[in-house]
Amino acid sequence: MSLFDIPQEVLDARPLGAKDFDFLQGRWLIHHKKLAERLVGCQTWCEFKTPAANQLIRGGLGNIDHCRTESGDFYEGASLRLFDKGSRLWRIYWMDTNGATLFPPVEGSFSGTVGLFRGYDQHNGIPVLVEFRWDKTNPETPTWQQSFSADNGNTWEVNWYMCFSRVT
């Protein structure tokens, strides 16, 4: 799925690593499991589902996805993923209806079917190291999780988990 068709020869010419997120193209139903509060020892998880869609951009050197709630409080978000040909790393930016900014990027790559991406941000005024972990072992049901560390990576709290199911 793409707004513009990308010639196959352009897709084939991408460097190593630039195809890592190709599995994510198309339409999905995402099952979210999110901590009610982060970094306070909370054990309460909120669960909800959102539809999502992903498309390639920049000749396959990036992609955009978009999801939104269909019931309850309105929430909409989008990821922008950009591949840096020089460093062969991905940068992932997030934006949502909670603010009018892009969150600071996480950066990383895949090793086999697992991708780890890290970056610095703040949560409620607390500096945090953020980690996204993608697992595409089964590309028809990939998973993503977000973790925060308030002590520069010594301890981690998984605070959001998503399981994707392809919509045909």
Give a yes or no: residue 39 inside a domain. yes
Task: Give the CATH number of the domain where residue 134 resides.
Answer: 2.40.128.20
Domain residue limits at 14: 8-166
**pLDDT of res. 3:** 66
Residues 167/28, Cβ–Cβ less than 8 Å: yes
Give a yes or no: residue 1 inside a domain. no
Give a yes or no: residue 3 inside a domain. no
The reply to whether the predicted model has a pTM over 0.75 is: yes
CA-wise closest residue to 52 among 102, 101, 1: 1
Query: Per the structure, how many domains does the chain have?
Result: 1
Each residue of 4-58: pLDDT tens digit? Answer: 789 999 999 999 999 999 999 999 999 999 999 999 999 999 999 999 999 999 9
Give a yes or no: residue 26 inside a domain. yes
d(CA 138, CA 143): 9
Give a yes or no: residue 2 inside a domain. no
